[in-house]
Chain A
Amino acid sequence: QKEVEQDPGPLSVPEGAIVSLNCTYSNSAFQYFMWYRQYSRKGPELLMYTYSSGNKEDGRFTAQVDKSSKYISLFIRDSQPSDSATYLCAMSAATSGTYKYIFGTGTRLKVLA
């Protein structure tokens, strides 16, 4: 079993829809949870990161962490064609004072105009 599971998609939605992207994980030691957006032929770009359970909002993006269920989500409101990209979740825990990141495989999102 992978430490982080993420549905690869692709996920196609109409412009203006609410998008829900999710990851599950198995390691209860994970403390930090991140979402990256990766456009084609570009490196991942950090969207949001959170520490602990709960919600964090930034503009049209909301990150949600449920540690009891080992489940994280990214919601995109009023989705735009420019949101079309691959979204990677990432998690981290301190090991001997340093951090390693574990990434999901990414969900490909297509927002149709």
Chain B
Amino acid sequence: GAGVSQSPSNKVTEKGKDVELRCDPISGHTALYWYRQSLGQGLEFLIYFQGNSAPDKSGLPSDRFSAERTGGSVSTLTIQRTQQEDSAVYLCASSLTGQGALQPQHFGDGTRLSIL
């Protein structure tokens, strides 16, 4: 079946511009995660959505970062007034649920963001 889909796959933009990254999770998965992966770094947790509950935003690095998930499915991560240090691969993952017994995460191929 279809996996996690992310778009765009690559994004190059100028410093100061806003960007929107999209994630389409696996159908039926209620948990959705955003991560950031920089060269030589592990996956840095950004935000977690579970069903209709309030998201866990504890990993967002600044108030320039926000995310929403509409209808419990598609999610968008928005970065306002981009800075060069925002350049990274942004990965989205979904799982059947994020509660109860652990359910493995399934990842998309990421959006490669480059800020000039």
Task: Specify the chain B residue showing the minimal Cβ separation from A106.
Answer: B42
A44 vs B107: C-alpha distance when bound (angstroms): 6
- Sorting the interface of chain B by its residue count into under 10, 10 to 19, 20 to 34 or 35 or more gives 20 to 34
Task: Specify the chain A residue showing the minimal Cβ separation from B33.
Answer: A101
Docked-complex contact B98 and A99, CB < 8 angstroms: yes
Q: Does A41 contact B (CB under 8 A)?
A: yes
Q: Mark A33-57, 1 if CB is under 8 A from B, else 0.
A: 0101000011111100101000000
Docked-complex contact A45 and B104, CB < 8 angstroms: no
A92 vs B15: C-alpha distance when bound (angstroms): 35
- Sorting the interface of chain A by its residue count into under 10, 10 to 19, 20 to 34 or 35 or more gives 20 to 34
Q: Does A61 contact B (CB under 8 A)?
A: no
Docked-complex contact B105 and A46, CB < 8 angstroms: yes
How many residue-residue contacts, CB under 8 A, span A and B? 60
Which residue of the partner chain, among B42, B56, B102, B110, contacts A32 with CB atoms under 8 Å?
Answer: B102
26 sampled A-B residue pairs with Cβ under 8 A: A4-B42, A6-B42, A31-B102, A34-B104, A36-B107, A43-B6, A43-B91, A43-B93, A43-B107, A46-B104, A51-B102, A88-B43, A90-B43, A92-B102, A94-B102, A97-B99, A98-B50, A98-B98, A99-B98, A100-B48, A100-B56, A101-B45, A101-B105, A103-B43, A104-B42, A106-B42
Docked-complex contact A97 and B100, CB < 8 angstroms: yes
Q: Does A105 contact B (CB under 8 A)?
A: yes
